[in-house]
A = this chain, B = another copy of it.
Amino acid sequence: MTVSKESQTRLGEVAVQVAGLVEDAMRSDITSALQGCDPLLAEVLEYAIFGGGKRIRPLLTVLSSTICGRRDGQVYLLAAALEYLHVATLIHDDVIDHARTRRGRRSVRNKYGMAVAILAGDWLHARSMHLIGQLTGPDGLSVFCRATGAMVDGEYLQIRHAGDIALTEEKYFSIIERKTASLIAATCMLGAMLAGGTKEQQQALGRYGKKVGMAFQVVDDLLDYLGNQRETGKKVGNDFLEGKITLPLIAALGQAEAAEHEELTTLLAGDRTAVDTCGRLSVLLEKSGGFRLARSRARELVGEAVAALDVFSSGEEQESHDLLVAIAGYILARKQ
């Protein structure tokens, strides 16, 4: 799949414009929701929400509404609600992982302490559901809550399989579908629901979101080994150090020749934090085709995502269609 230079440029412009409008929606919603509230709560939410971030999820909501024929203030408010949930999960993740930084700044947990961080996540979770209930009714809320439930389920699956080198590719995809893709699928589906899209359109966008979300996670797992720490803001090999078995490793174990397989299992059984372990592991993953297979899976997923958009006949919403395709392409190409 190739995305034209023109589409890429247009995506960049639209992304900046939408991010600005979604941030306006968040700021105005937070201001009204916090009337009479404690100033510390306002300070923490400001810090957590407006600290940057790619705003890919709200962009997906907005484009999913637009392609179904609607783009107004309510669409940006829905996008804001979905971004709140994303921020809430990042805050709770940083508590769970004892993360000191997030997006190049101190994490909420590190700056304000654990109690404040857990509670801020809970507040955003509640506000997110409140808005989604108001905007999309019980049906939308049901889609959303199933997605957040699936996220938790995916995290549990991952926790239970930590360090399990017998993890299959199938199980890996089942984990990432739940923990990452379910919410992105809901993000797209809710955009379609708000816009009054047909059931077919809702499902097509849900499928697009699911595939894009899975591709996003596969690329994330690749970047964990191959990324530049300065660009990603994350330590290289972090997943491996935490015992997360991801696709490059699963693929390498499945394809490696006998000698390399033995070296891989020895490395995995040894001291993971030893200075040269991670570097040697990367060499073995490259040699056994682990990175190659993961990249090829990500490409397949992006292809499936784009194919799901076929139900949208080319016409007046051609631009939204092209931008959704461009996002899928961007996900494959991203370096951070």
Contact = CB atoms under 8 A, between A and B. Distances in A.
A273 B141 CA distance: 48
Contacts of A127: 145, 149
Q: Determine chain A's interface SS by DSSP, over half rule.
A: helix
Counting chain B CB atoms within 10 Å of each CB, the highest count among A37, A129, A156 belongs to A156
Contacts of A160: 38, 40
Contact of A33 (B134, B149, B157): B149
8 contacts: A37-B149, A41-B156, A119-B152, A122-B125, A123-B153, A133-B142, A133-B145, A137-B137
Nearest to A119: B152
Interface residues of A, number: 40
A92 interface: yes
Contact of A145 (B114, B129, B137, B156): B129
A40 B118 CA distance: 22
A117 to B, nearest CB: 9
Contact of A126 (B41, B114, B149): B149
A121 B141 CA distance: 18
Contacts of A119: 92, 96, 152, 155-156
A148 interface: yes
Interface string A95-137: 1100000000000000000111011111101110110011001
A233 interface: no
A279 interface: no
Given A134-B141, A138-B138, 4 more contacts: A96-B114, A96-B119, A116-B159, A129-B133
Interface in A224-283: none
Interface in A37-61: 37-38, 40-41, 44
Contact of A133 (B37, B44, B116, B141): B141
B156 A40 contact: yes
A297 to B, nearest CB: 23
A123 B92 CA distance: 13
A127 B145 CA distance: 7
B149 A142 contact: no
Given A123-B152, A127-B145, A152-B119, A114 B95 contact: yes
Contacts of A33: 149
Contact of A138 (B125, B133, B149, B153): B133
